[in-house]
């Protein structure tokens, strides 16, 4: 599992905390703020955090991750 985040994003911190508290291993991918291509390719818009379960399934929104 991969989690795409920004360093400065409070919603990303929330998502990281949930994975940490539940001891769920996740690969963190820190994106640059000007990287629009990666999140747009995955979910159709510039939005993080985004959780990628496999190559075809991406889940945006920190509230959905909880």
Domain enclosing residue 22, as ranges? 2-65
pTM, two decimal places: 0.80
CATH number of the domain enclosing 6: 3.40.30.10
DSSP-based three-state secondary structure for 28: strand
H helix or E strand, kind and range, residue 39:
helix 37-43
In the sheet where 27-30 sits, what is the strand order? 27-30, 2-5, 50-52, 58-60
pLDDT 10s digits, 1-57: 889 999 989 999 999 999 999 999 999 999 999 999 988 888 888 888 888 877 766
Number of domains in the chain: 1
């Amino acid at each position: 599992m991969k989690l795409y985040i920004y360093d400065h994003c409070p919603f990303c911190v929330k998502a990281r905390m949930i994975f940490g508290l539940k001891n769920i291993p996740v690969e963190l991918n820190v994106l640059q703020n000007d990287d629009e291509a990666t999140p747009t390719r995955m979910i159709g818009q510039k939005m993080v955090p985004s959780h990628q379960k496999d190559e075809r399934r991406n889940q945006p929104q920190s509230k959905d991750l909880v």
